[in-house]
Structure 1
């Protein structure tokens, strides 16, 4: 009996040592993970700051230059530069949002009443139309004053959808943007363009990161716009869907107001 008692005690002490070692290793890994998380967040913040500052300077310079008398060629160059600045700003926002989302930060929301929502929507459409003056964009906004949402995020969602429509839609046909609040309390935002339908293989993965609407080798964009748009809709407790056929391609975001008011970041 004594021999068995010693064996049991030795095994227990060995088990306790292994348990203590495993606990210490786990605490070390957690500490390292926390430090890395802080460093990643700092990197994202610095990256956003360092990329946005020169872009802001360029944007201010373009606005100042737009007030000066310019030749027709100069005005054309100014318009192209303003479009590039707007597109680069959206790319930076999408990349930073993607990084935060993949690091567990989710899409953060600051919910506000919708009195300024219509102005945000019109501003987004005006900016993109300035960058593409040859394109026709039909905008209809109705009854959005009662909407509760993160206004800049909804503007970002619209910018991503409209930018996608401008890139892949038929340039000879208008793009329709419809925004409103239904009688059953659902905020709806849709963007419709005409042109070839999205291929079936692309539709299946359209809202995944780094996937584009077509597989024609078009190098424009990172393939993050639709992914970020879907995440913004999800953060509001809503959905983003697409229908694409020979008649056109229509993206529709729907946000029930009860869900939108209670929504928060999503991981």
Structure 2
């Protein structure tokens, strides 16, 4: 059952209150009668109202004074007020009424259908506001859940995963029994993949909350970073990758963040590129103020997906495996590059294949963009 919507009616003449209640009586609407401004304020302390119908001429406290008190209280500051008056139209009184917070004036004798129409409008606005408040509350709850989720990922899951990784590393260094070695390597690969997934979810959570992605710039060599990634990707077919460099590849970037950028781009090229075609990773340091990095392969991104390729939870239909299980790999690439003050773009066609180009300033800003 829907809650009653309440309308406050304030008039010092009891007959007028009875007439207002008779005119506005309908299912789902309740009229709260008050015979003075003081009685109206007492009702407002208890009830939430969608609209106040206030007579201007009342003893002790007139309608203007009541409106000013309502506007000054946080609980009632948003309640729309319609003044009802028997006085002739006077521009000075109208100005004072609107200055006190009125949204409209009705002059006696009141036209019933005009009163009903105006009340219906404000009741509908009140219902819309209630629904909006409910949605805002749900969004706040979702943000709080997101923060809790990020905290769980960052603390409660990373600890056990680190223990698994360390144990697998010890097993891999033990006696060279083929079955044990294979099992240890499998555990290591899975734990590394889970670590990347957790990191991607943390970055996504932070970005969706509007928080800056922290970076710690330090001197780095982009060619050396690329070589280290290719060495790590050796078991996945990195022998197909051709690393090229020209100009000065040195700059000041966050090595960990850029390593993840390179890992995602090279990993995507290895997964989605043609198996019989080389992958070209080029570092272009020929410009004084920036370093450009491109990763090219002979795979093709479908035209309908290309405009959305950096959106979260997007994967191509031709993917042999998901990049991180969530489709966040390229989203993370974009966020990390933007945190460095750079840009990343993708292009793809059947004739030229697919290329990703990253443009980075030589010196990244000291904090996330």
TM range (shorter): 0.7 to 0.9
What's the secondary structure of 2:360's corresponding residue?
Answer: strand
Q: Which structure has more RCO (C-alpha within 8 Å, separation ≥ 6)?
A: 1
Question: Which of 252, 255, 258 lines up with 1:151 in the alignment?
Answer: 255
> Matched residues in 2 for 1:76 and 1:171: separation?
25
- Tell whether the 8 Å contact from 1:110 to 1:150 is kept in structure 2 after alignment: yes
Cα 1:211–1:43, aligned 2, differ >3 Å: closer, same or farther?
closer
Residue 235 (structure 1) aligns with: 339
What's the secondary structure of 1:242's corresponding residue?
Answer: strand
Whether 1:15 aligns to 2:120 is no
| Aligned-pair CA distance for 1:265 | 2.1
Residues 7-33 of structure 1: CA deviation (Å, up to 9, x unaligned): 2111211222256766xxxxxxx9xx9
Residue 44 (structure 1) aligns with: 150
How many residues align? The count is 250
After TM superposition, the structure 1 = structure 2 runs for residues 117-266 of structure 1, keeping only pairs within 5 Å, are: 118-130=223-235, 132-133=236-237, 136-141=240-245, 143-145=248-250, 147-195=251-299, 197-212=300-315, 214-216=316-318, 220=322, 221-246=325-350, 247-257=352-362, 260-262=363-365, 264-266=367-369
Residue 93 (structure 2) aligns with: none
Cα 1:59–1:242, aligned 2, differ >3 Å: closer, same or farther?
same
Bigger Rg over Cα: 2
Structure 1 stretches of 5 or more lacking a match? Answer: 23-29
Question: Which of 113, 120, 124 lines up with 2:219 in the alignment?
Answer: 113
Residues 89-130 of structure 1: CA deviation (Å, up to 9, x unaligned): 211111110011111213221121225x55543333222223
Residue 52 (structure 2) aligns with: none
Structure 1 range deviating more: 180-189 or 33-42: 33-42
> Matched residues in 2 for 1:68 and 1:138: separation?
34
- Tell whether the 8 Å contact from 2:285 to 2:291 is kept in structure 1 after alignment: yes
Cα 1:70–1:155, aligned 2, differ >3 Å: closer, same or farther?
same
Structure 2 stretches of 5 or more lacking a match? Answer: 1-55, 79-135
- Tell whether the 8 Å contact from 2:217 to 2:254 is kept in structure 1 after alignment: yes
Structure richer in strand, relative to its length: 2
- Tell whether the 8 Å contact from 1:83 to 1:128 is kept in structure 2 after alignment: no
